[in-house]
Amino acid sequence: MYLVYVMPLIMTPATAALWLGILRIFVGKTQLSTGTCPTFTGTYGPLLGWGLLVNVSVFTIVGWAWATVAAMRWLCSQIRTPGSALDFSGKGH
Question: Does residue 30 come out as left (phi exceeding 0), alpha (psi in the -120 to 50 range) or beta?
Answer: beta
What is the chain's pLDDT, residue by residue, as a tens digit (93 residues)?
Answer: 677 778 888 898 999 999 999 999 999 999 988 888 999 999 999 999 999 999 888 888 888 989 999 999 999 999 998 888 888 888 876
Q: At what angle do helices 63-77 and 44-57 cross, to 10 degrees?
A: 160
Structure confidence at residue 13 (pLDDT): 92
DSSP per position, 45-77: HHHHHHHHHHHHHTTSSSHHHHHHHHHHHHHHH
| Separation of alpha carbons 87 and 93, rounded Å | 18
Question: What does DSSP assign to residue 35?
Answer: S
> Is the pTM here over 0.85, yes or no?
no
